[in-house]
Amino acid sequence: MARSRKHHPAPDPGPELPRLDRRPSLAAQVEAILRQAVAAGRFPEGRLPTEVELAEQLGVSRETVRLAAEVLQREGLLVKIRRRGTFTRPPLPALPAQAGSSTLLGYMQADYPAVQGQEQAVTRAISGLMLQGANEEAGRAGFELVVRHAPHLQLREAFQQLYRKVTLRGVIFASYGEEKLIRRVVGLGLPMLLLDHDLRLPQINSVRDDSFEGARQAVRFLASLGHRRIAFANWRQADLNPWRLAGYTQGLRDAGLPRRSRNVVHVELTARGAGQAVEHVLALAPRPTALYCFNNTLARLAIEELHRRGVRVPQELSVMGGGGEEVPGLTCHQADRYQVGRTAVQVLLRAVADPAGHTPEHLLSPHAIRTGGTTAAPARP
C-alpha cells in the first residue's frame, strides 16, 4: 500500500525586497556621452578626437573609449577610416516614395566558413574596410547601401529575398563570383559590380586589388634581399583568388628562380593552417629561406608558430604577408581597401546613371610594399 505524501504549504516569502539599481559600466557611460555629442553636432567637421584624447578628456582608459565607439560604429553612427580617424556619419536623405527613384544599392557580402564549423576570418579585415569606403561614397552621393551578409552557398537566396523586398538601383557582390547567379542578375537588367573578384564576363563591372602584381612585387622584393628559395603559403580556396599564385610564379620568373611545386602549400587561413604551412616548409630540403603568405593574418599566425618552434624570424626564415589586417612590424604588400570600396560605388553609380550607354569598367587597385622587421637577407650557409 502506497504511503500518502504530506503536502506542506510553501513558506511565505514575506514582503518583496527592492532591487538594487546597477550603475552603468564606464563603457556604457562613455557610449551615452558620445551619442549625445554626435546628435548635438559637437565635433567640428564631423571628426572625433583620437581615442587617447577622448580618454584624457573623460578620465577613462583608451580601451573603454574603444569599446564605446565600437557600439556606435555597429549602429552606423560612427565610421572609422584607417589613417584618417573616426567620423560621424551624416544622416542620409529621406528616400523618395516612388519606386522608380529609389536610392537603394544592394551590397551582398559572401562569407566563407572554415572546416568543422569554425568561423573563418578570411576576409573580415579587408571586407570591413571596403564596406566602410562603399558606405561613405554612397552617402556622399545621396544613396544608401542595403547590406546583406550570407554564407557564399546561400548568397543566391539572400539576394532573391532582398530583390523581392526592396527596389534596387544597382547591386555590388563582394568576394563572390558564382557565374550562374551573376548571369541571372544581368538578365534582370540591374547594374552590377563584382568587388574583390571578377569573372570572364566583359559586360560586368569589377573592382579589385591587383593581387597578381602585389605577389609579383613580394617575390621580387625577397629576391632582391638575396633569397633564392621562396616558399608560398596559399589560401586553399585558390579558385577565389587565382591571381596571387600567378603573381608568385611570375615573380620567380622575373628573378630567374625556378618554380618548384613542393615550395607551395595550400592551407586554411587559420592557426591550424599556419601550423601546417610551417611544418611543411621546415620539412623541405633544402629549406626555404623566405615564406610568403597569402595575407597578413596567415603571416602573423605563421610567425607565432615559428616562435613556438624556436625558429628565429627573420634570422632563420624571413616572413612576408600579402595584405589585409594591420600587423605592426610585418613586411607585407598592402592595397588601400577603403579606397577600393569607394571606387566600387563610383563605378556602379556611373552604370546606374546610364545603364544603356555605360561601358563596363574593370579596375585594379595597386599594392605597395611596406618593409618591417620580419624580412632580412638570408643567413650565409
Backbone angles phi, psi at 82, to 5 degrees: -55, 135
Same CATH fold assignment for domains 102-210+337-366 and 211-335: yes
Class of domain 211-335: alpha beta
CA distance 247 to 240: 14
Query: Cα–Cα distances in Å, from 234 out to 156, 169, 195, 239?
Result: 27, 37, 21, 11
CA-based nearest residue to 268, from 219, 312, 231, 302: 302
Q: In the chain, where are the structural domains located?
A: 102-210+337-366, 211-335
User: Among candidates 165, 24, 145, 174, which has minimal Cα distance to 76?
Assistant: 145
Q: Count CA within 13 A, CB hemisphere, residue 39.
A: 7
Q: What single-letter amino acid sits at 190?
A: L
Q: pLDDT 10s per residue in the chain (381 long)?
A: 444 444 555 555 555 555 555 566 888 888 888 887 877 778 877 788 998 889 989 998 988 898 888 877 765 567 776 667 787 754 433 333 334 458 999 999 987 665 433 334 445 667 888 999 999 999 999 999 999 988 878 888 999 899 989 999 999 999 887 788 888 887 888 999 999 887 777 778 999 989 999 999 999 999 999 999 999 999 988 777 889 999 999 999 999 999 999 999 999 988 999 999 999 999 999 999 999 999 999 999 999 999 999 999 999 999 999 988 889 999 999 998 899 999 999 999 999 998 888 899 999 989 999 999 999 999 876
Chain position carrying cell 572609422? 80
pTM for the full predicted model: 0.65
Residue 209: closest CA among 366, 82, 320, 345 = 366
- CATH fold for domain 102-210+337-366: Rossmann fold (3.40.50)
